[in-house]
Amino acid sequence: MTGLIACEHPRTVAVRVSIPGPDSVETPITGIGLVALPYDRDSVLGALARNARSPRPDTVELQRLFHEFRGPFTAYTATAFAAGQLRDSLERLKARLDSLPRGSDEYRERYAAFGRMNDSLAALQARTEQRHGELDRARAAFVERSETLRAAIRHWEDSTYLGYDSLTDALAAQRHRQPVTDTTGADGWAHFTLDEGPWWIYGRSWDATDPNAEWYWNVPVSSDTILLSSRAGRQRPRY
């Protein structure tokens, strides 16, 4: 953990990050960098956006391309995930078969089930390869059509938020509290030691269901345990 400062009454805050996986099950995520900020990041960004020299570029066409690309992406990831799950089941079944007498009724029943599952896996693998090819073709078309639109948004953000670092450095100095960082471990937890005063936990994570989206959190610290889940975060486009 870095960025700690001396404080009279520090407190420990535990934060867990979890997001929905390809199977829609909320799962703790490792390796997510989090920052405890002594100011509201969204308020700072909002103020800068209101003073922008030009309107934010329109995103309607880019959102349409995102939606169009998400179809072949989710088709491929769902099939690949199902194949992986079936492969794991086959390995467990094989381990069980290896422990059974060859002439037993249970062995014969499980061996027949193994054959059926193996045939299903072969079909799934073929479908996965087909959908991977469809995804590659969709990606090539998507990149060609979206790059200029994305570049315009990045240029606007670079210009609009140019003063962000100077402004937040001044806010931190004014409040005599510096940002504190930590990274989630294998269990999805991160831990912070924070001085008295208002804090916000900021973090971002990939979206397992959409390569052009991310999970975003900017949550005020209101207790000693904070759960950054899909309920607490925003799923937003990643330009």
Q: Among 58, 32, 54, 28, which Cα is nearest to 188's? A: 28
d(CA 18, CA 189): 9
Looking at residue 9, what is its pLDDT?
Answer: 76
Looking at residue 23, what is its pLDDT?
Answer: 86
Q: Is 182 left (phi over 0), alpha (psi -120 to 50) or beta?
A: beta
Q: Among 55, 58, 35, 44, which Cα is nearest to 161's? A: 44
Any idea where the domains of the chain sit in the sequence?
11-38+177-237, 60-160
- pTM (two decimals): 0.85
The burial class, CB within 10 Å (0-12 / 13-18 / 19+), for 53 is exposed
Looking at residue 3, what is its pLDDT?
Answer: 42
pLDDT band at 4 (very low <50, low <70, confident <90, very high): very low
Class of the domain covering 60-160 = mainly alpha
CATH topology of domain 11-38+177-237: Immunoglobulin-like (2.60.40)
Q: Among 216, 237, 187, which Cα is nearest to 31's? A: 187
List, for residues 164-183, the tens digit of each pLDDT value. Answer: 999 999 999 999 999 999 99
Q: What is the mean pLDDT of the chain?
A: 94
